[in-house]
Amino acid sequence: MSDRVVLKVGPALAAATKAGIEPYGAKPRRVLSGRNIMLYGTLTLAALYYLLPLYVMVVTSMKGMPEIRLGNIFSPPLEVTFEPWAKAWASACTGLNCDGLSRGFWNSVRITIPSTLISILVASVNGYALANWKFKGADVFFTILIVGAFIPYQVMIYPIVIVLREMGIYGTLTGLVIVHTIFGMPILTLLFRNYFSSLPEELFKAARIDGAGFWQIYFRIMLPMSLPIFVVAMILQITGIWNDFLFGVVFTRPEYYPMTVQLNNIVNSVQGVKEYNVNMAATLLTGAVPLIVYFVSGRLFVRGIAAGAVKG
């Protein structure tokens, strides 16, 4: 009689009861269920899809040219060599000169650091002012800034070239830093404004009652509370500016070309044999900085993205 009642409840439960196990606590789950196979299968496929090219690059960059000519692109190197890396860094030719990527690396550093710092500094103050000091026309100003983010870069390139030329800084690093700072402004201001709006308004009011002014509130109340969003802004800017190609090639002279432009020149220069291993090494070197930035600050990045999520 009791068996029949149990059968109605469900086969799993019935089986458990038949085996003499009284259901208690967490329900046992099968590891190899259809759901798990689907889930992990899809994830593994997606991961492979993205990781395979990276694997090919790393492997190829550590092979010598004779080995590459064998055509087994997936096989690991028989003889590991770091010569392609050394060549990519120090002596690969970019058409005119043959001192490798190192020059481009230092150019990129000299472009990225000031651009990142200046744009974050200005945008955070902008965002703070927009979020907390509701001045007349603040909303209009903000809207204009955001619309600016949607205008295609191509439209603005030629006018900016003229403006920079008139200012006498066309082709210099200063000019490129200014361009990067300006183009980072809409998205960064939005990011900071949303973050500061999400902080309790009463904190700001309390600070005003305590007599703190615009800069005192910014430096002593707001800044210490905003580390995650600063990390997010930094990652966005460092990776964005480091990976930039268009502005780098348009607004600078060859001796100031950033790493990405040099990479392109190395890979595309057609002199004799194509050195795939050097090209791969050069690409990995160029991508190393954003990659390291992500690894080092990944956790803070996720936290900050959640905090600065687009809101009102």
- Rule CB under 8 A: say whether 211 interacts with another protein: yes
Does residue 297 sit in helix, strand or coil?
helix
> Chain-centre distance of CA 226, in angstroms?
19
| Cβ at position 133, least distance to another protein in Å | 12
Does residue 171 sit in helix, strand or coil?
strand
- Rule CB under 8 A: say whether 11 interacts with another protein: no
**Region of 20-28, 65-73, 105-113, 216-224 interacting with another protein (CB under 8 A):** 216-224
Q: Which is nearer to another protein, 185 or 203 (CB)?
A: 203
- From CA 298, how far away is CA 51, in angstroms rounded? 18
Candidates 6, 93, 182, 212; binder of another protein (CB under 8 A) is: 212
- Rule CB under 8 A: say whether 155 interacts with another protein: no
Candidates 216, 243, 269, 283; binder of another protein (CB under 8 A) is: 216
| 188 to 207: interface string for another protein, x by CB under 8 A | ------------x-xx-xxx
> Chain-centre distance of CA 34, in angstroms?
35
Q: Which is nearer to another protein, 25 or 224 (CB)?
A: 224
Helix (H) or strand (E) holding 105: helix 102-132
- Rule CB under 8 A: say whether 224 interacts with another protein: yes
| Positions 90 through 149 that interact with another protein (CB under 8 A) | none
- Rule CB under 8 A: say whether 220 interacts with another protein: yes
| Cβ at position 211, least distance to another protein in Å | 3
| Cβ at position 201, least distance to another protein in Å | 9
Under 8 Å between Cβ of 248 and 257: yes
Candidates 140, 155, 209, 273; binder of another protein (CB under 8 A) is: 209
Q: Which residues have CB under 8 Å from 298's CB, separation 6+?
A: none
- From CA 59, how far away is CA 301, in angstroms rounded? 30
Q: Which residues pair with residue 138 across a beta bridge?
A: none
- Following DSSP, what letter does each residue of 5-33 receive, concatenated? HHHHH-HHHHHHHHTTPPP-SSPP--TT-
- From CA 92, how far away is CA 102, in angstroms rounded? 10
- Rule CB under 8 A: say whether 221 interacts with another protein: yes
- From CA 97, how far away is CA 100, in angstroms rounded? 8
Q: Which is nearer to another protein, 56 or 223 (CB)?
A: 223
| Cβ at position 226, least distance to another protein in Å | 10
| Cβ at position 213, least distance to another protein in Å | 8
Alpha-carbon dihedral of residues 178, 183, 184, 188, nearest 10 degrees?
130
Interface with another protein (CB under 8 A): 200, 202-203, 205-212, 216, 220-221, 224-225
